[in-house]
C-alpha cells in the first residue's frame, strides 16, 4: 500500500511558501481539442505551452491539483545530464547520438530561463550545482567523469575540486572532493510549475483540475474519459508517470514508484546559511542512495536523503531526516526541522528516461528517475514537436530500450527492496 501522500503534501515547505491561485474547474461534459494532455506537471504544461504557440487547441486534465505530484515536491535541483551515466546512452545509441541527447539536456536548462523570463515566473532561481564525493577514490571517479564530459561532449562548465577547495562551496567534514557546475542550479519547483500553469491558461489552454482520467478509447480520434465528462482529441499525451496506474499498463511495467523525502530546517539567517554553502549551490553526493540539499530563498536548508523502495514511510521521518542532515552538517545541532514531505518519482531499470508512443497519436513520457526538473520541460517540447510533424528529437529518445521490472505487479517491489539493500551495502564498502 502506498503511503498517505495527502498528509505529507500538506506539510510541504513548497506548499506553505507558494500560495495557489484560484483552482481550475473539473471537466464537466464533453470537450474537443486537437491535443489532450494528461498530467498537470512540468512536462504536460510545457507541452501545452508549445502546442498553443503552434496553434493547436489543448485540454489539460489533472487528477488532483496542478503541481501536486513530483513537479511540485522535488528537490528543486535543475541539472544537466540524465539520471543514468552517458555511457548507458552511448551503448545503445552510439557516441554521436549520445552527444545530441546531452545537448538537449543543456537546452533543458536554457528552456527554464526562457520560460521564467518570458512569463515572469518568480521561482527563486539560483545558479550553481555541486557534486561531492565521500572518499578519495570516488573523488577520482568524479573528476574523471568531468574530464569525459569536456572531452567527449564539449561540456567544460564543470570545475573539479580537491578537498582543500571544498570550503569555497561547502562547510562539511564529510566530503573528500567535488565538482562545481556553474551552469546548472536550483529553484522553487512549485512556484515554477504554478507559473507555467498561469502562462498556459493565459495562452488559452483549458486546464481542468480534479479530473482523474478513468480510461481512454484509442483510435484516429481518442476519447479520454473522466468522472465528469470526456475529451475528444486527435492526439493524446500521457504525462502522469506513476500516477497513471492502470491507464497505460504496457508502459507502467517499465517504471517503479520510489518514495522520496525532504525536510526543511528552521530559518538559519543569511550569514549562517552562507557559512554552510557560501556559493548557495545545490549539492548532491555521488552515492547510489544519495543525499541532496540546497538553501531556500529564505535561508532554510532543504535536505533530501531518505527514499522508500517499499512504498512505506520511514518511521519517525522528521527525526530520521534531521539525523542525516547532522551527519553532513554537525554544526546544525541546535536547528530544528519545520517541514517534511515526500512523494513518488518513477525510476526505470537503467535510470534512462522512457519516452514513446502507445499508438501513432498517443505519446507518453516517464522514467525521469529523480532527475526530471529540467528534462521534463524539454520532454514536453519534444512531444509538441512530434505532434507538429518534427519527431526526430522525440524519436531519438524513443529508440532507448527498456526492460520490465522483474517480478510482475506483486513481486517487483520486494525484488527492488532487496536490490537497493545491496546498493546501500556497496556504498558503505566503497
At 4-39, the pLDDT tens digits run 567 667 789 999 999 898 899 999 999 999 999 999
| The pLDDT of residue 246 is above 80 | no
For residue 428, tell me if it sits in a domain.
no
Ramachandran area for residue 33 (φ above 0: left; ψ -120 to 50: alpha; else beta): beta
The DSSP letter of residue 216 is E
For residue 420, tell me if it sits in a domain.
no
pLDDT at 241: 85
**115 neighbors 381 (Cβ within 8 angstroms):** no
Least confident of 74-88, 304-318, 414-428: 414-428
Based on the number of CB atoms within 10 Å of its own CB, is 10 exposed (0-12), middle (13-18) or buried (19 or more)? Answer: exposed
Q: Which three cell numbers stand for residue 318?
A: 522528521
Which CATH number characterizes residue 291's domain?
A: 3.50.50.60
For residue 423, tell me if it sits in a domain.
no
User: What is the rounded average pLDDT of the residues 399-420?
Assistant: 65
For residue 97, tell me if it sits in a domain.
yes
Mean of pLDDT over the chain: 92
| The pLDDT of residue 198 is above 70 | yes
Q: How many CB atoms lie within 10 A of CB 345?
A: 25
- pLDDT tens string 68-103: 999 999 999 999 999 999 999 999 999 999 999 999
Sign of CA pseudo-dihedral 22, 23, 26, 31: positive
Q: Where are the alpha helices (DSSP H) in 205-310?
A: 249-252, 270-276
Structural domains counted in the chain: 1
Rg (CA), the chain: 21
| The pLDDT of residue 269 is above 90 | yes
Model confidence, pTM: 0.93
CA 297 to chain centre: 20
CA distance 191 to 342: 17
Based on the number of CB atoms within 10 Å of its own CB, is 348 exposed (0-12), middle (13-18) or buried (19 or more)? Answer: buried
For residue 302, tell me if it sits in a domain.
yes
- pLDDT class of 418 with cuts at 50, 70, 90: very low
CA 308 to chain centre: 16
Which residues neighbour 168 within 8 Å (Cβ) at sequence distance 6 or greater?
A: 161, 278, 279
**108 neighbors 375 (Cβ within 8 angstroms):** yes
For residue 419, tell me if it sits in a domain.
no
β-pair type (292-295, 282-285): antiparallel
Output the CA–CA distances (angstroms, integers) from residue 289 to 92, 171, 285, 304, 424, in the order listed: 25, 21, 9, 11, 6
CA distance 177 to 173: 11
Burial 182-213 (b: 16+ CB within 10 A, else e): ebbbbbbbbbbbbbbbbbbbeeebbbbbbbbb
pLDDT at 430: 56
For residue 421, tell me if it sits in a domain.
no
Sign of CA pseudo-dihedral 277, 282, 284, 290: positive
> Which residues lie across from 35 on neighbouring strands?
58, 235
Based on the number of CB atoms within 10 Å of its own CB, is 364 exposed (0-12), middle (13-18) or buried (19 or more)? Answer: buried
CA distance 379 to 374: 9
User: What is the extent of the structural domain holding 35?
Assistant: 5-412
pLDDT at 420: 46
pLDDT at 7: 67
pLDDT at 344: 84
- Nearest partner of 64 among 41, 42, 47, 44, judged by Cα: 41
User: What is the rounded average pLDDT of the residues 169-192?
Assistant: 98
For residue 21, tell me if it sits in a domain.
yes
Please work out, in degrees rounded to the nearest 5, the angle formed at the alpha carbon of residue 63 by the alpha carbons of 62 and 65. Answer: 65
pLDDT at 419: 47
pLDDT at 377: 98
- pLDDT class of 422 with cuts at 50, 70, 90: very low
pLDDT at 4: 59
Output the CA–CA distances (angstroms, integers) from residue 335 to 46, 268, 308, 404, in the order listed: 38, 8, 25, 43
| The pLDDT of residue 347 is above 50 | yes
User: What is the rounded average pLDDT of the residues 107-116?
Assistant: 98
β-pair type (58-61, 29-38): parallel
- pLDDT tens string 31-75: 999 999 999 999 999 999 999 999 999 999 999 999 999 999 999
CA distance 328 to 171: 9
pLDDT at 311: 61
- pLDDT class of 259 with cuts at 50, 70, 90: confident
Amino acid at each position: 500500500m502506498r503511503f498517505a501522500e495527502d498528509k505529507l503534501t500538506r506539510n510541504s515547505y513548497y506548499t506553505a511558501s507558494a500560495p495557489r491561485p484560484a483552482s481550475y474547474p473539473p471537466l464537466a461534459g464533453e470537450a474537443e481539442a486537437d491535443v489532450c494532455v494528461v498530467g498537470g506537471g512540468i512536462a504536460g504544461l510545457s507541452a501545452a505551452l508549445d502546442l498553443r504557440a503552434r496553434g493547436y487547441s489543448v485540454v489539460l486534465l489533472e487528477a488532483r491539483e496542478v503541481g501536486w505530484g513530483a513537479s511540485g515536491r522535488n528537490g528543486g535541483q535543475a541539472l544537466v545530464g540524465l539520471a543514468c551515466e552517458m555511457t548507458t546512452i552511448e551503448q545503445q545509441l552510439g557516441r554521436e547520438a549520445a552527444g545530441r541527447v546531452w545537448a538537449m539536456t543543456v537546452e533543458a536548462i536554457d528552456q527554464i530561463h526562457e520560460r521564467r523570463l518570458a512569463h515572469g515566473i518568480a521561482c527563486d532561481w539560483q545558479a550553481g550545482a555541486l557534486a561531492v564525493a565521500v572518499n578519495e577514490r570516488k573523488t577520482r571517479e568524479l573528476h574523471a567523469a568531468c574530464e569525459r564530459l569536456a572531452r567527449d561532449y564539449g561540456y567544460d562548465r564543470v570545475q573539479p575540486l580537491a578537498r582543500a577547495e571544498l570550503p569555497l562551496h561547502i562547510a562539511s567534514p564529510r566530503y573528500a572532493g567535488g565538482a562545481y557546475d556553474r551552469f546548472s542550479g536550483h529553484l522553487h519547483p512549485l512556484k515554477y510549475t504554478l507559473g507555467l500553469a498561469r502562462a498556459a491558461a493565459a495562452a488559452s489552454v483549458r486546464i481542468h483540475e480534479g479530473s482523474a482520467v478513468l480510461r481512454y478509447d484509442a483510435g484516429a480520434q481518442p476519447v479520454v474519459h473522466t468522472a465528469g465528462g470526456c475529451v475528444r482529441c486527435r492526439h493524446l499525451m500521457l504525462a502522469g508517470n506513476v500516477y497513471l496506474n492502470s491507464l497505460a499498463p504496457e508502459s507502467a511495467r517499465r517504471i517503479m514508484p520510489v518514495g522520496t523525502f525532504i525536510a526543511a530546517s528552521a530559518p538559519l539567517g543569511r550569514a549562517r546559511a552562507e557559512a554552510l554553502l557560501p556559493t548557495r549551490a545545490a549539492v548532491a553526493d555521488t552515492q547510489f542512495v544519495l543525499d541532496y540539499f540546497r538553501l531556500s530563498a529564505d535561508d532554510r536548508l532543504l535536505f533530501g536523503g531518505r527514499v522508500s523502495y517499499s512504498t512505506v514511510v520511514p518511521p519517525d521521518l522528521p527525526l530520521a531526516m534531521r539525523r542525516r542532515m547532522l551527519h553532513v552538517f554537525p554544526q546544525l545541532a541546535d536547528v530544528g526541522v519545520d517541514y517534511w514531505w515526500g512523494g513518488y518519482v518513477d525510476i526505470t531499470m537503467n535510470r534512462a528516461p522512457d519516452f514513446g508512443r502507445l499508438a501513432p497519436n498517443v505519446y507518453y513520457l516517464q522514467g525521469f528517475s529523480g532527475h526530471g526538473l529540467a528534462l521534463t520541460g524539454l520532454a514536453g517540447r519534444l512531444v509538441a514537436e512530434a505532434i507538429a510533424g518534427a519527431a526526430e528529437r522525440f524519436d531519438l529518445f524513443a529508440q532507448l530500450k527498456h526492460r520490465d521490472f522483474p517480478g510482475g505487479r506483486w513481486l517487483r517491489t520486494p525484488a527492488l527492496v532487496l536490490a537497493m539493500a545491496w546498493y546501500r551495502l556497496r556504498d558503505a564498502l566503497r
